[in-house]
Amino acid sequence: MDYRYGIHAVDSLLRHRPREIQRLLVQSGREDKRVSSLLELARDQGVAVERLPRRELDALAGGRHQGVVAEVAAVAGEASGDNLWDEAALLRHVEASPSPVLLLVLDGVTDPHNLGACLRSADAAGVDAVIVPRDKSADLGPTVSKVACGAAEVIPFVRVTNLARTLEALKEHGVWLYGTAGEAENSIYDSDLRGPMALVMGAEGKGLRRLTREHCDHLVKLPMAGTVSSLNVSVATGVCLFEAVRQRK
């Protein structure tokens, strides 16, 4: 059994994937407006509700649950949901999209907090899908869901066995790959991001892997004026995505 917690994460799960919820566990005595809205939504979706003391929710969630925990059935160790795509579904979407796609590729981001923050920024920027390698990458889970504030349940999420092969397939479908690297000569602000593109972000600390870097059409950087050499990957992702959004507007 898996547990998702936090007002935003549980609200999104109730709206988009209610069939996965076994029970909605609510802290005894919580009757505020936000919890009442969740209870009403749970009733509309036919989700069973149970009241539990806060200490029991603390033990289940292992994090700041805000008085609500969704008990979700785990399926053979895999996450489930309509927003989980394979490579074929991703390429079909690229082919059928009426406007230039905006994709986010995370090459080995292992911190679930960073993955959750990247998903939240991606959703806000209107990204078509987020792509990660199946190995050596954080996966969807309670921490990611909480940090993403609802984005983890809705934004298309693609886990691929061979990231280099997927990048090559995207290029064959007309998608330009923009990899971020501190040593790049061109700034993200001097790049044309209006066409079909994938922003490729490297892992925390190590950056892009060699093979991933070699598949990128362009390497770009964020100009750094201070003493630090780089930004947190989730912060850099948000900055780069919204530069693309700015140009496309």
Domain boundaries, the chain: 2-72, 84-248
Q: How far apart are CA 137 and CA 42, in angstroms?
A: 32
231 in a labelled binding site: yes
pLDDT digits (tens, 9 = 90+) for 188-223: 999 999 999 999 999 878 889 999 999 999 999 998
Spell out a b/e string for 109-145, using b for 16 or more CB atoms within 10 Å of the CB, else e: bebbbbbbbbbbbbbebebbbbbbbeeebbebbbbbb
Share of the chain above pLDDT 90, in %: 60
Share of the chain above pLDDT 70, in %: 96
Mean pLDDT of all residues in 144-152: 89
223 CB-contact burial (10 Å; exposed 0-12 / middle 13-18 / buried 19+): exposed
Mean pLDDT of all residues in 223-249: 90
Tell me the pLDDT of the chain averaged across its residues: 90
Beta bridge partners of 4: 70
202 in a labelled binding site: yes
Least-confidence region, from 101-105, 172-176, 192-196, 227-231: 227-231
Residues in the chain: 249
Mean pLDDT of all residues in 149-156: 90
- The CATH number that domain 84-248 falls under is 3.40.1280.10
For the chain, the 3-state helix, strand and coil shares in percent, each to the nearest 5, are: 40, 25, 35
Specify the amino acid at residue 108: G
Mean pLDDT of all residues in 171-184: 94
pLDDT digits (tens, 9 = 90+) for 113-140: 999 999 999 999 999 999 999 998 999 8
> Residue 76: which pLDDT band, with cuts at 50, 70 and 90?
very low
Chain centre distance of CA 24: 23
63 in a labelled binding site: no
Predicted structure pTM score: 0.80
> Residue 166: which pLDDT band, with cuts at 50, 70 and 90?
very high
pLDDT of 138 reads: 92
Whether domain 2-72 has CATH 3.10.620.30:
no
Mean pLDDT of all residues in 63-89: 76
